[in-house]
Amino acid sequence: MGIEKDYKTYEMTPLAFALSVSSMVYQRITNRITVAYLYRFCRCYIDDVISYSRLFSDHLIHLLLILTRLSDAGLRLRADKCLCAQHKLPYLLFVLSAESDQPDPNKLTIIKYAKRPKKVFSELLLFIDVLYVNMLS
């Protein structure tokens, strides 16, 4: 991961959040593997792949296509992290559904009951860190 400033790129030596491979690499890999399906019936965010379809029969075909691509690329899935045929899907800070995408009420309680910061900068960083950790859970 890097930051560009004044026509120069500054890169971190150790990866943030103790990652063994940067999230940018995962994003690039999943996009390249699923490029034929992106935004038709598939979306990728870092190492998450979401398949969506109007009909269940189409969903099964789409899953087969995506899983075949992932397998051909040598990637494996963790079954305990996979969800299939969901009408509502909690994802990042939202609950995704066919009707609408709504903020996840469980994640909003963190913001609702947070204390007002006294030392703005340091407590804001702590607050963002708490949000990030809860977003991943």
pLDDT digit string, tens, across residues 39-49: 999 999 888 89
For 130, the token pair is 């708490």
Mean pLDDT value of segment 69-84:
89
pLDDT band at 78 (very low <50, low <70, confident <90, very high): confident
pTM of the model: 0.63
Interval 16-28: pLDDT, tens = 555 556 778 888 8
